[in-house]
């Protein structure tokens, strides 16, 4: 990981922040990307204070021009792009399929799925110029099963796996590996606001008996992004406390 240049979207908090910090600890140069400027800048400052290399670039992942600008910034600032972790996402509207708003559907599909296409479109171009690279797309356990009242989220996360596998087939012979990670319910700001009863129900869905930690997901992302996973591409790895084993 030393001197590798990595873009991490949604790095202001949660899984993205933990991943950025872990990569930096191992010598990577990090572009912290998020729409939340204050928190994103703080992540970059924390990395630098700990002796790492990082800079912040404000990005709206739903905007293709922003995703192109993010890649351009990485190359101009650090000279290349080796790794991309497409992590940014939202929970989206919770509703029955028949009652979901068109706006709610479009928003979650754009932010959780189309944004990964926008990112990969430009990330792949930069990596080809660099002779190769690694992309890790953050899907979900809901990328392989459904979940009531979360049609948009589940559809987007399923789509990520298909997009990942297709891109992996297209670019594996060109020294770019592309994989997906499927976290279970992780203790991040995405779950804030849920009442205690709902939280207890969610925890009970995981045979391990607790929510996951961002750092646990970051360890899997780190392995997939790095050279030790050199024969791994087109794969989907759940990290879910046994959720999908039921």
Determine the Cα–Cα distance for residues 170 and 241; give it in Å rounded to an integer: 32
Residue pLDDT, tens place only, 161-194: 999 999 999 999 999 999 999 999 998 877 776 7
Residue pLDDT, tens place only, 212-245: 999 999 999 999 999 999 999 999 999 999 999 9
Residue pLDDT, tens place only, 48-89: 999 999 999 999 999 999 999 999 999 999 999 999 999 999
* Cβ atoms of 85 and 14 closer than 8 Å: no
Residue pLDDT, tens place only, 204-214: 999 999 999 99
The catalytic residues are 153
Residue 55, token pair as written in the block: 């800079």
C-alpha 185, offset from chain centre: 14
Instruction: Give the per-residue pLDDT at 137.
Output: 98
Q: Please give the CATH architecture assigned to the domain spanning 5-245.
A: 3-Layer(aba) Sandwich (3.40)
């Amino acid at each position: 990981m030393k001197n590798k240049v990595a873009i991490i979207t949604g790095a202001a908090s949660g899984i993205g922040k933990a991943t950025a910090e872990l990569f930096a600890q191992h010598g990577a140069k990090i572009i912290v990307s998020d729409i939340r400027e204050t928190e994103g800048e703080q992540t970059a400052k924390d990395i630098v204070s700990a002796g790492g290399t990082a800079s912040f670039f404000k990005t709206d992942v739903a905007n293709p021009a922003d995703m192109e600008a993010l890649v351009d910034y990485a190359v101009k600032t650090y000279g290349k792009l080796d790794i991309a972790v497409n992590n940014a996402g939202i929970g989206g509207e919770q509703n029955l399929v028949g009652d979901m708003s068109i706006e709610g559907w479009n928003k979650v599909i754009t932010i959780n799925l189309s944004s990964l296409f926008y990112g990969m479109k430009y990330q792949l171009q930069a990596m080809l110029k660099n002779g190769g690279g690694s992309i890790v797309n953050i899907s979900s356990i809901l990328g392989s099963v459904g979940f009531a009242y979360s049609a948009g989220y589940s559809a987007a996360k399923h789509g990520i796996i298909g997009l990942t596998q297709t891109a992996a087939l297209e670019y594996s012979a060109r020294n770019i590996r592309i994989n997906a990670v499927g976290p279970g319910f992780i203790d991040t700001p995405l779950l804030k606001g849920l009442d205690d009863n709902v939280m207890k129900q969610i925890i009970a869905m995981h045979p391990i008996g607790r929510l996951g930690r961002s750092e646990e997901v970051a360890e899997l992302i780190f392995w997939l992004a790095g050279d030790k996973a050199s024969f791994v591409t087109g794969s989907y790895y759940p990290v879910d406390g046994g959720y999908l084993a039921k």
